[in-house]
Structure 1
């Protein structure tokens, strides 16, 4: 079984990458505080790389930015490559198939609400893309036809 579920804050605004055959992808890092203090009495933080593909990647870039609190569900993937200096670099990342938007930045929340209001006035609705989940409190204000 290879399943991962994490909650953390995005450390940098994600950027969408256009790949071959029209595929889109984004990478981002989430910061996750540990539940205990170290020997110095400080709370350590883990930084976890995440990768998202397709429409879900588009929505993450559109709605999430640095400081957004998100939940990520997916699987761990490891890979390696050789650097120019001959050293092998190993990478472990979460390949997300579900992202929950828990607390967006204030300006992003306003942008989402404005977009939802504009769509409601014009009678437009959008289908919810696969893997895109909003908490109930946030979903109530958005058209999810």
Structure 2
């Protein structure tokens, strides 16, 4: 079904959210081009500024110039996996204020074991749903720092 008008309250809520908080800078690091673009579009529709990296090395490089508040990073990417990219962002570049969330198709406990040493703040299971993405943003805003899962 296609709606000609927005659902009641949806536009009002989006306007209220945009008015009460600054847009965040969100880096989407995902090697699946379609998935990356869909995630970026979601965050843009939520009123945020988005950068996209298609591999781990690009994510590390772009994190320095784009200076994101949140990085949503696929765990398995070419050139450098998400865990190593997160580790480099934290240690080599001293970026401990960014919230890094790993996207993974692995079971949550397995993914957490892989992410412990890299100081990953959150784990989101694929396929990720909009409510999980909004919760990540809300958690970041409430803590004004990194956010655990």
Could you say whether these structures have the same fold, taking a TM-score greater than 0.5 normalized by the shorter chain as the test? no
Higher-Rg structure is 1
Structure with greater helix percent: 2
Structure with greater strand percent: 1
Structure with the larger RCO, 1 or 2 (CA within 8 Å, 6+ apart)? 1
Q: Given the two structures, how large is their TM-score scaled by the length of structure 2?
A: 0.26
